[in-house]
Structure 1
Amino acid sequence: MEQLRQKLSDLLAKAQGSWGVVVEDLDHGTRFEHRAEESFIAESVIKVPIMAAVYAAADRGQFTMDDRLSLRKEDLVKGSGLLYTLSPGLKLTIRELVTLMIIQSDNTATNVLIDLVGKERIDQTMFELGMQQSKYSRKLMIYPVDISENNTITACDVSRMLGRLATSKFLSHRACEEMIGIMKKQQVRNGLPSLLPSPEDETDWEIACKSGWDTGRQHDVGVLYVGDRRFSIVALSQNVQAEAALEVLGQLGKEVYEYAKGSPRS
């Protein structure tokens, strides 16, 4: 992995802003780290542990993923997603809400799910996923903000979480498979997968990912599958312009893909 480490180091040395990056070969345990313990505002990456908290609550019999919830007027918040454009009273299954939260980064769906499981369940889930330096503090897009603290993450914590989901070491194999399957349907693909071959040209790769962004921050995290290889990639940035950050994210994904294609399996 030394050649990949050098390429990623060179890329980040030239990158605008500050970056926290972890890339891990999930089959061999080798990894690259760059400022892995540094804390970043989570943005929508926090939605992945929220998804895990929903599955944990379902696993404990609090509800089933096929139960339906009705949207209330007070649930509707703007930002990412489309639920806020729809009418109160719409009923969606919990699984559908989770899917919208991940693949469209829907903030309304996220807040409904936060209300469903509660902060204590989210905190416990993050602990169980190994996210001990990260913190969930508040819902999304609520103004005025009733809690001043931000949701925070570190690249190292997110890497642990992705590793446990990808290797079915959280809850059950079925739950992890469902969560990874939802992330594979991601519709926001302008970061890590943006420079990967199009499905028409190459069908040997998949990515299960989740991005997050705001002014000066651009994150993307996920699990890249290339043939029978699995790599978790976590890239968090701050003090960076969106266009420059997205270019770095695309290059990161491309470098890992090319390494996975060209390096020996064992």
Structure 2
Amino acid sequence: MEFLKLKDEIENMADNVTGRLSYYIEYNGETLYKNPQVKMNPASIIKIPIAVAALLQIQNGEIDANKVITVTETEKIGGTGIIHCMKGEVAFSFQNLIPIMISVSDNTATNKIIQEIGIPTINKVIESLGCVNSAVNREIMDVDPNLVELNNHMTAQDVNTLLKDINSGDRLTKEHKNFLLGCLEKQQFNHKLPLFIKDTLYSPYAHKTGDDIGMEHDVGILNINGETLYVSIMSNEVHNNLDAQMFISGVGKLLYDFATASSLSNSNA
């Protein structure tokens, strides 16, 4: 099946989601998209550019990877993650906060990284990629949700640009690139893109999820036998979160089946 022929099937699945939907999917220079540059509340997807900025700070000698970051009891926040489950004051190396932020989507780790490197540093990285419709404006869980102007925002196409830079760009060294890809590959929330994929024990996607009431996201990189596919799916103001989850899971399975068949076809050519 040709990649562009997936368009109708994806659009049919999208009809089951009531709300704002945005996606950008790229394979071998071809793209499928819907509202690719519409600003969306990214929830935890914003943690990806934060991770890139943090690794660049280490890479450029701006911060020591082994710097000890202490988290006090009052600095812990709820939501996803594990640090708020730990008793008393805890400490981590700066670099070890990154997998905690990405693989288990820890909100406290995210805020500690933001505090260490600063919001302007993160936005400078985002802007350097040409992602003009994405920005970090606040820490996690740190704003009245009605104050829209203070919300973080990203677009599906900007996220894809970021994923491509992580996977195949030259911004990060090979060491730091592999470190971040490893964090994405070890993602612990696998109830969206990989949900319906049953022929592998682990998620074939290196990915990051994000969600809140009325929003469901999953973005990732799919590498199969040298074939690479990038997918970013975001939804805001959805009436039923489960409908959006099922859409993302259906697209994840469809893309996986396509990429698997395509790689087999190419290897037999």
TM-score under structure 1 normalisation?
A: 0.91
AA partner of residue 59 (structure 1): Q
Q: Write the distance in 1 (CA, Å) between the matches of 2:159 and 2:127.
A: 12
Q: Write the distance in 2 (CA, Å) between the matches of 1:253 and 1:221.
A: 10
Could you tell me whether the CA contact under 8 Å between 1:77 and 1:142 is conserved in 2?
no
- State the match for 1:65 in structure 2: 65
Q: Write the distance in 1 (CA, Å) between the matches of 2:173 and 2:129.
A: 13
- State the match for 2:8 in structure 1: 6
Q: Write the distance in 2 (CA, Å) between the matches of 1:32 and 1:259.
A: 14
AA partner of residue 152 (structure 1): H
- State the match for 1:133 in structure 2: 133
Residue ranges of structure 1 left out of the alignment (5+ in a row) = none
AA partner of residue 138 (structure 2): R
**Structure 1 residues 159, 212: closer, same or farther in 2, change over 3 A?**
same
Q: Write the distance in 2 (CA, Å) between the matches of 1:106 and 1:75.
A: 13
Of residues 228, 234, 248, the one that matches 1:230 is 228
Residue ranges of structure 2 left out of the alignment (5+ in a row) = none
Moved more, 85-94 or 47-56: 85-94
% same residue: 24
Q: CA deviation at 1:143?
A: 5.9
Q: CA deviation at 1:88?
A: 4.0
Q: CA deviation at 1:72?
A: 2.1
What aligned pairs does 1:206-221 form with structure 2 within 5 A after superposition? 206-221=204-219
Q: CA deviation at 1:104?
A: 1.1
AA partner of residue 19 (structure 2): G
Q: Is residue 2:252 matched to residue 1:253?
A: yes
Secondary structure of 2:52 counterpart: helix
AA partner of residue 17 (structure 1): G
Could you tell me whether the CA contact under 8 Å between 2:23 and 2:156 is conserved in 1?
yes
**Structure 1 residues 254, 115: closer, same or farther in 2, change over 3 A?**
same
Q: Which runs of 4+ in 1 moved over 3 A?
A: none
Moved more, 68-77 or 160-169: 68-77
User: What does the per-residue CA deviation read over 1:125-170, in whole Å, with 9 as the maximum and x for residues that have no partner?
Assistant: 111233221111000123668x751000111100100111111332
What is the count of residue pairs matched by the alignment?
Answer: 260
- State the match for 1:38 in structure 2: 38
